[in-house]
Amino acid sequence: MRIMAVDYGDARIGLAVSDETATLCGEAWTLPERSMARAADKIVREAAERGVSLFVLGYPKNMDGTLGPRAEKSAEFKALLEARSDIPVRLWDERRTTVAAHEILRLNGRKMKSHRARVDAVAASLILEGYLGTLK
pLDDT: is 117 or 124 the higher one?
A: 124
What residues does each domain of the chain span?
A: 2-135
Q: Are 54 and 87 in contact (CB under 8 A)?
A: yes
Q: What angle do CA 19, 21, 22 make, to 5 degrees?
A: 70
CATH architecture type of domain 2-135: 2-Layer Sandwich (3.30)
H runs (alpha helix) in the chain: 36-50, 69-84, 97-107, 112-135
| pLDDT higher than threshold 70 for residue 17 | yes
Q: Are 66 and 109 in contact (CB under 8 A)?
A: no
Lowest mean pLDDT among 19-23, 61-65, 78-82: 61-65
| pLDDT higher than threshold 90 for residue 60 | no
